[in-house]
Amino acid sequence: MNSRSTKVAIAGAGIGGLAAAIALRQRGCEVVVVEQAAQLGEVGAGVQMSPNAVKVLRAIGVEPLIRDLSCEPLAFTGRDWRSGRVLYRTPIKGTYERVYGAGYYHVHRADLHRALIERLGDTDLRLGLRVAGIEQDRHAASLKLESGETIEADVIIGADGIHSAIRRSILGDEKPRFTGNICWRGMVPVDALPKGHVELASSNWLGPKGHVVHYYVKGGAMVNFVAVYETDEWTQESWSTPSSVDEILKTYAGWNQELLTTFSKAERCFKWALYDRDPLARWSQGRVTLLGDAAHPMLPFLAQGAAMAIEDGYELASKISDVQSLAGIEEALAEYERQRIPRTSRVQLGARARGATMHLRSPWARMKRNFGFMLQGLRTPESTTHRAEWIFGYDATAR
């Protein structure tokens, strides 16, 4: 067997599964992708694509397809929840390409998903089929579908998200952990806001028990916001539970008026509870492995879940396509784990830790943190406030 004949079955056509499928096809593998949704699409929300993800999107030919639909922020800004005072501002546009080798994009998820599908071309994509689990012995592995059908392959990838059936099948049934954070997302047409109301930035408002992030998408026509607040009341993990502007305004009563005005113009709002899992020591069993949220679901506080899924997909494709015989597959998957688990675990734990820094309740602790931001801005004006250089500088395509 050479790499041209390696057949890979992927469960899940999310951002991670599609990135992996494109990278595998680029390297000559035969790919089938199975997706439970009858129609493809992504939720109406934004996603931040940092340089480490953009380097992979460039390598798989997706970057040019999203460039005009994205917005590149001028800076990361941190603002005080009540006064709106700027706590830090670190430059992005004009700096990131030079420092990290790629830009930082804000893009609507549907636009990114559409671009991935376009690059997928004539890959075998089967919609409306739900994966139930896997079966494997020493010679073959197959995806078991709920319909009773099976799809045999040399390698199986579980890219089926936080409630992964593939993960359950190989690692057992262990529930994700509610992190105590509830999250609202909404989109606001720029025309509904006063001119210049929202800065062209990745804006982070930091307050007690919560934070809010907003940025432009759709080439600057819409503002996307994500508002996170600590609670122990409500725990539904779904992207599509409807909420209301009133509910958000009630939760953020007392926060800066500029922010409340942005919330008040949201077209529709949704809410969901944030879950994650602890990092794992293994993701694979035999010829079956995991990527993205199926392997390492994380809090969105470093904006890295999709970026890690994209990196996983690229590096996994590289390991699989290097395999010269079926006997080498298990070792290739072990090598993939050795390469990816230390990095994704660090990001998972880093995202948790960042929540604590952003949601400080004590005014003294916030003052101390803000003083640190100020000092760092003076000492190293180009470095990211949350020291994310090790994340952004990484290049999965060079490994």
> Which residue ranges make up the site for ligand FAD (CB under 6 A)?
11-17, 34-37, 47-48, 130-131, 159-161, 165, 183, 185, 226, 292-294, 300, 303-307, 309
Q: Smaller CB distance to ligand FAD: residue 18 or 87?
A: 18
The answer to whether the beta carbons of residues 149 and 2 sit under 8 Å apart is no
Of 96, 105, 215, 275, the active-site residue reads: 215
- From the list 121, 108, 159, 109, the residue with the least C-alpha distance to 25 is 121
C-alpha span between 259 and 232 (Å, rounded): 24
CA distance 368 to 395: 34
Question: Cβ closer to ligand FAD: 292 or 377?
Answer: 292
User: Minimum distance from CB of 292 to ligand FAD (Å)?
Assistant: 2
Closest CB to ligand FAD among residues 47, 323: 47
H helical segments located in the chain: 15-26, 51-59, 63-66, 96-100, 109-120, 165-171, 245-251, 257-264, 305-321, 329-358, 363-379, 389-392
Name the nearest CA neighbour of 259 among 207, 183, 219, 182. 207
In angstroms, what is the minimal distance from the CB of 183 to ligand FAD? Answer: 5
How many other C-beta atoms can be found within 10 angstroms of the C-beta atom of residue 166?
27
**Closer residue to ligand FAD, CB minimum distance, 81 or 215:** 215
Q: Which is nearest to 299 in space by CA: 278, 281, 275, 280?
A: 275
- The residue type at 237: E
Radius of gyration over alpha carbons of the chain, in Å? 21
Residue 252 annotated to the active site: no
Shortest separation between residue 60's beta carbon and ligand FAD, angstroms: 14
Q: How far is the CB of 221 from ligand FAD (least distance, A)?
A: 18
- CB 130 → ligand FAD: shortest distance, Å? 4
Report the residue number, 17 or 208, with the smaller CB distance to ligand FAD.
17
What is the set of active-site residues?
A: 215
